[in-house]
Structure 1
């Protein structure tokens, strides 16, 4: 029983011990295998490191060899360059030596020539002394006396020749100055040829039909009164078919009224509220037009740094006329003439051009003044911050004040040229109206003429004859007398047609 128990117990223990021993042996085997594998890996790493080391060493050696060859090649090139440089230096040294030798030879030659010239000068001085003594003996004058006599004669001759030359120069200068001045003025006038416009105080607006006249007048005349009040013009509606006449001495107001009336006629809605709206819109457009015209003339002339007030003042001249000339066109023309004149005589071209452009700026003043346009323009230029020379040129262009600069005188000349050149000024309205009045008065002076009417701008004269005083057979003779008198008394362009009207008009009333 005890043996069996011992055997029963000992068998598992022996199995456990045997298993432990087997596991220990297996572990030892695994450990030994791992160590062997690690050793193999270490050996392989060592071998691979040695191989890489050898490869790096080989590459380093190749790099060293390549760099050594490159260095040797560069050394050879440097040595070749140094040799070439040494050769050039040697050549230059040889050339310098040759030139030094030549210079030494020339220096010796110059020294020999200087010695020879010195000897020659001594010989000449000796001969001169001999000649001088001989001349003194022959003339009986000492050297100083002869010198004084010669100098006196030369001085008299020089004075005479100088006076003659001076007189000739003065005459030539006067002739050439007059000729040059004429050339400058003629050239300047020829290079400036600006068209002019007529000086008119009335304008006509065409209508699509005569019924439009009633719409313009409005109920009890309210439309025409509103238009006249807003624009400050006189609107004349007469028997002229399909047209109304706008009359105003202010061209700006006249232009505003014309454009406003044209737009109202085109639009068809004519009543006081619409009239006020159109007039305000046209007024703004005209003001913009004024500014644009001022900018345009400044751009054309190349004038800069002008204040906005100055631009507007120039633009207002676009709607102004004087003696048949548009004032802005005239001012531009005067500026161009002044610029040309200043360039010809060497004056300040830009100053003359600026002063000439602004010389009539007073004619566009919006407020009325007792002063003339030159004084008004000078005051406007002063407020605009213009230079004192420009202000003086404006004030002096009609000799109201003394001109203090040459540019102010140039402005006067340019203004006179622009006004006096052929075709610059046309017949003014006053002269035109006066000629028509003289034409009618001349015809009405004859006995038997009741009334005379000048029509078609004075090209035709219609004469009403009293049928009781002049019979039919005397009408032609009367017409010839009137024509002869007109030819004698009145100056007119072209020819005038005389139409004699004689009629018997009997009026009777039935009661």
Structure 2
């Protein structure tokens, strides 16, 4: 009974659920149908509104397109109008140019016809002239034959004789004219050059005598010689070893001779020996001590001398190595002339001459002061001192103008600036003044002989005399071999040969003398 009730309840519950489901489905379906109808109606309204709006936009776009079309059409028509107008103007200009061109063509053809008629006349005249020319040539040849027959000379021979005469006269006249021009220009140039050089030398104001390196030590008595020599010569050996100088003690009273090619060593030895003599204690230990101190003293003195001289001359920014070389110049001489004094003199001369010519005085003074720096080598060099000095100047950062002036002051290299010949001239002035240098008699006599030999090598020279210490050469020619006009050419040729083959300080004057003597004896 209980089981039937449970089944019945369950069946009732199940049937209730099914009934509820169908009822819910029916209600929901109705709502869905209503919602669907509303959605369809709404979509239809949206579509209708969209179609209306699309039609409106379409009409607006059509209106804008028509407006744009009319604007473009009017603009195009306006451009077409202006282009047609421009084309019409160009056509009018072309027509005007064509008309002018046609007129020019007409004028050209008129001139052409006129020219052709003139050409015919010209050709006719040429034919007449050719005929006349042939007649004149025939007459000319007939006259030449008559002249050859009368003079017994052929035309070629007469031409050659005439050419020889004309060329000879022209050469003589040209040489005379050239000589006059050379003499006139030399006279003007010499006056100006002498004026500048004399002013420079006067403003320089340096004495012509200079001091030489000292190599002789004077002592109070000959007793000192024994102490310098020492027992078994140990003192003198120690001194020679320490200084590198040969000490010569002979019979000459109160004199000790110091011999060495290095002037600085010789000066160290002189000062050391002087200090030892004053001190009185001469032994190997004291010698080494004094020589060592003297070397340091000389090195310091060399640097101070270099600095003092560049300050005195107003030269700045010189490398310390070059300053040391400048100081060493004090102990070096050339032909008896002190090198430092010579370099200062050249620097001042170069500065004065460059100022007269409007050049850079500072560079000229610098180049003049350093021009002989190559004469202070540490060892025996294979290069000339000018080239060596130029290389040192380049190495230590000197200006290219200064380097060229140093290297070219003896013509080892080409001069590239105007300062270079000024340094060469200043060096010659300083080295060639009377009494400034000691030239050996052998080189002096050799130079005089070379001068005379050059003059005697020319045709017609009878005698030649080198006078005034080689500053003038007088040449006597034979009057029957050289005439007055040819003496000008001879003097020029001798001058050029001396310039090319000889090296000499200053200048040499060449005087050619031609003399004709006629001697008659009345009896």
Tell me the TM-score normalised to structure 2 length: 0.47
